[in-house]
Chains A and B, each alone.
Chain A
Amino acid sequence: MNRLAINLNGVDFKNPVIAASGTYGFGREYNEFYPISRLGGISCKGMTIREKLGNPPPRIAETPDGILNSVGLQNPGVEHFIEHDLPWLKQQDIVVIANIAGSTEEDYAAIAEKVNASDVDMVELNISCPNVKAGGAAFGTSPDCAANITRIVREKCPNKPLMVKLSPNVTSISEIAKAVEAAGADSVSLINTLLGMRIDIRTRRPILKNNKGGMSGPAVFPIAVRMVNEVYNAVKIPVIGLGGIATWQDAIEMVLAGASAIQVGTAMFTDPYAPLHIIEGMDEYLEENNIDNIAELVGGVKLW
């Protein structure tokens, strides 16, 4: 039996390691290093109903053990994805998750209808992107707004398992998680990036042209573990954990905190093979500890 195989919201994954949205494009580039089918799933670059050009550069700054980004959801629009990228992705033996975003309720409804009618395996609803001025973050920061958008998307997208991606830039992430659960989410993924800023002391200007950006990478890992554990204890639906995972040890820790699956993002920039090393290391850990399936470890942390 495959120790790493999981079923998430009715979808079979060969392993619980998913490429995080925005760091892996639509998979084609990393497929030039290794077959991306070795991963369990791919959450595609966040998409909007129409093409978005994104923010002016520089869009990235380094931080101690992490980065800030301000891409601003540059994407070719959902129809372009469905026409040009999805057919290719569907041939790669990997679970395809469409990550969707919008700046108005109408946008969310429209994109939800499009992905509902497409071949994607799951939908990840981004109500938490901090890089888009109107909307995005605002939708994710109050339980009512988060629930409202989830309900709209749930209604327009009844055929796909719906994962809602949560923002850490909130007072109580478990309140938001409970709200989206009640509004029909099948699972929640967290965390999106934490808002941050860096200043070049020579020019006295922010390094990012957008001034602020979303922080990710190993530096945010302890925050992500804490939030995943809180949410795991607050909801009944599966939790997908991400934020700073770079090694298999991090991945196991995240599973113990309560994650049924994990996503890897920024670590890919340091090492494109990071997800493969994580999969291998998790499998060895399970074997050494005589654990038949990763599901047995989920939420296994014994709190003091």
Chain B
Amino acid sequence: MKYTQELCPIIQKDTLNRTTFSFVVKSEKAVQTMQPGQFANLRVAGKTLRRPISVCGFNREEGWIRFVFEIRGEGTAILARMNEGDTLDILAPLGNGFAIDPTEKAVFVGGGIGVPPLLGASAPYGENATVLLGFRNMRAIILSDEFEANGADVRIATDDGSYGHHGFVTQLLAQRLDEAPCDVIYACGPTPMLKLVAAEAEQRGIRCMVSLEERMGCGVGACLVCACKTKREDGSETYRHVCKNGPVFDSREVVWE
């Protein structure tokens, strides 16, 4: 059985900024086969649909999973009101994660709330990771100290210039690739950012994996609502599904619209 429903007590809740929260939950089953880049579907009291949230980190031996999420609407607001001791009902591990090879030189590009899944994915790379993070402003910056603690070269861009590079994280990417080559790029964030990252990677002939978002129903590949337009090998277009075929896709497979 690949999927589990697990009732996970929240063992640590932290507030990263006014609208962003970190939950560490206890897990015995789901954590066993978890991979960085996978996600869980979290039940929200009073809501028909679960909310997909990426795994930010996990530890099999210690039996915990960490989620970092931002309040975006009603569902995430309800989740944010949960506290240590409350129980989170999760379906996990869902989707395909990042293929990790820490011997490679990897560049991680994250935008806003796309940053959390990159923390767990970049950790094994240590100094082989360059982590480029984009945020609206200084107050929105999250997790950068934790990326640094893992040994990564961390560079930050803010839209308003209140911290780090004034501009888009994709500009940091071009700079970084001008400095030195890399084997692979991993990106997670808003679609316009992913599109630019994919274009930069393609132009330079670098392998690029992007983590996509789409509204979901089942979260496991049964209902076909989380469609994403992709190219088949013969070049024809089709819809694949973010929850089952993704959320991580090879950027060359995605049809950017």
Question: Max chain A CB contacts within 10 Å: which of B3, B5, B215, B221?
Answer: B215
The answer to whether B47 and A62 touch across the interface, beta carbons within 8 angstroms, is yes
- Contact for A67 among B48, B224, B228, CB less than 8 A: B48
15 contacts across the A-B interface (CB closer than 8 A): A23-B223, A25-B223, A29-B218, A29-B220, A29-B244, A33-B3, A53-B238, A56-B227, A59-B227, A62-B75, A69-B223, A71-B227, A269-B50, A269-B219, A272-B5
Question: Is B188 interfacial (CB-CB < 8 Å)?
Answer: no
Residues of A within 8 A of B217 (CB): 23, 60, 67, 69, 266, 269
Are B215 and A269 closer than 8 Å at their CB atoms?
no
Among A24, A29, A32, A66, the residue within 8 A (CB) of B48 is A66
Query: Complex formed: what's the CA distance from A266 to B227 in Å?
Result: 18
Chain B residues with CB below 8 A from A30, complex form: 220, 222
B163 within 8 A of A: no
Residues in B with CB closer than 8 Å to A24 are 222
Q: How far, in whole Å, are A273 and B218 apart by their CA atoms in the complex?
A: 12
A270 on the interface (CB 8 Å rule)?
yes
Q: Is A87 an interface residue (CB 8 A)?
A: no
Query: In chain A between 269 and 285, which residues have their CB closer than 8 angstroms to a CB of chain B?
Result: 269-273
Q: Quick one: which of B89-138 are within 8 Å of A by CB?
A: 91
Q: How does the 8 Å CB contact mask read for A32-51 relative to B, with 1 for contact and 0 for none?
A: 11100000000001000000
- A34-B1, A270-B49 known; A29 and B221 CB under 8 Å? yes
CB distance A32 to B1 under 8 Å? yes
**B239 in contact with A53 (CB, 8 Å):** yes
B256 to chain A, nearest CB (A): 13
Q: A67 vs B237: C-alpha distance in the bound complex, in angstroms?
A: 28
CA distance A22 to B218 in the complex (A): 11
Measured between alpha carbons, how far is A268 from B3 in the docked complex, in Å? 14
Q: Are A74 and B239 in contact (CB under 8 A)?
A: yes
A57:B228 contact, CB within 8 angstroms: yes
Residues of A within 8 A of B50 (CB): 269-270
Q: Which residues of chain B from 184 to 231 have a CB within 8 Å of any chain A CB?
A: 214-229
Please state if B43 and A32 are interface contacts (CB–CB under 8 Å).
no
Using a CB-CB cutoff of 8 Å, which residues 43-86 of chain A contact chain B? 45, 53-63, 65-67, 69, 71, 74
Besides the known contacts A23-B218, A58-B225, 15 further A-B residue pairs in the complex with CB atoms under 8 A apart? A29-B222, A30-B220, A33-B1, A55-B227, A59-B215, A59-B227, A60-B216, A61-B215, A74-B239, A266-B48, A269-B219, A269-B223, A270-B43, A271-B43, A272-B220
CB distance from B217 to the nearest CB of A (A): 5
Residue in contact with B220 in the complex, picked from A32, A63, A74, CB distance below 8 Å = A32
The SS class assigned to the A binding surface is loop
Q: Given the complex of chains A and B, what is the CA–CA distance between A268 and B222 in angstroms?
A: 10
Kindly identify which residue among B48, B215, B222 contacts A58, using a CB–CB cutoff of 8 Å. B215
Pairwise interchain contact A56-B229, C-beta atoms closer than 8 A: yes
Whole-angstrom distance from the CB of B5 to the nearest CB of chain A?
Answer: 6
The answer to whether B221 and A25 have CB atoms under 8 Å apart is yes
Q: How far is the CB of A156 from chain B (nearest CB, A)?
A: 27
With a cutoff of 8 Å between Cβ atoms, the chain B residues found around residue A218 in the complex are: 48
Measured CB to CB, the nearest residue on chain A to B244 is A29
Chain B contact residues: helix, strand, loop or mixed: loop
Question: CA of A53 to CA of B91 in the docked complex: distance in angstroms?
Answer: 27
Binding site for A on B (CB under 8 A): 1-5, 43, 47-50, 75, 91, 214-229, 237-239, 244
> Is residue A258 within 8 Å, beta carbon to beta carbon, of the partner chain?
no
Of all chain B residues, which has the CB nearest A67?
B48
Chain A CB within 10 A, most for which of B220, B223, B226, B237: B223
Smallest Cβ-Cβ distance to A34: which chain B residue: B1
In the complex with contacts A33-B1, A65-B48, A217-B48, A269-B218 CB distance below 8 A: yes
CB-CB under 8 A from B47, the residues of chain A are 62, 270
Q: Which of B1, B219, B224, B237 gathers the greatest number of chain A CB atoms within 10 Å?
A: B224
Evaluate contact between B48 and A74: CB separation under 8 angstroms: no
Q: In angstroms, how far is the closest chain A Cβ from the Cβ of B185?
A: 24
Q: Which residues of the other chain, A, contact B91 by a CB distance below 8 angstroms?
A: 272
From A74, which residue of chain B is reached at the shortest CB distance? B224
Indicate if the CB atoms of A57 and B214 lie closer than 8 Å: yes
* B215 and A23 contacting across the interface, CB-CB below 8 Å: no
Kindly report which residue of chain A lies nearest to residue B242, judged by CB atoms.
A57
Nearest CB on B from A25, distance (A): 4
Cβ of A29: which chain B residues have Cβ within 8 Å of it? Answer: 3, 218, 220-222, 244
Q: Which of B219, B225, B226, B244 has the most CB of A within 10 A?
A: B225
Complex contact B227–A273 (CB within 8 A): no
Q: What CA separation (Å) do A288 and B221 show in the bound complex? A: 38
Minimum CB distance partner of A65 in chain B: B48
Q: Are B226 and A57 in contact (CB under 8 A)?
A: yes
- In Å, the complex CA distance between A33 and B222 comes to 12
* Complex-state Cα separation, A217 to B239, whole angstroms: 25
Interfacial chain A residues near B224, Cβ < 8 Å: 22, 25, 45, 54, 59, 71, 74
In the complex the two chains form, what is the Cα distance from A273 to B220 in whole Å? 13
A23 & B226 in contact (Cβ 8 Å cutoff): no
Whether B1 contacts A69 by the Cβ 8 Å rule is no
CA distance A65 to B237 in the complex (A): 35
Which residue on A lies nearest to B237, using beta carbons? A53
A60 and B222 in contact, given A266-B48, A270-B43 (Cβ under 8 angstroms)? no
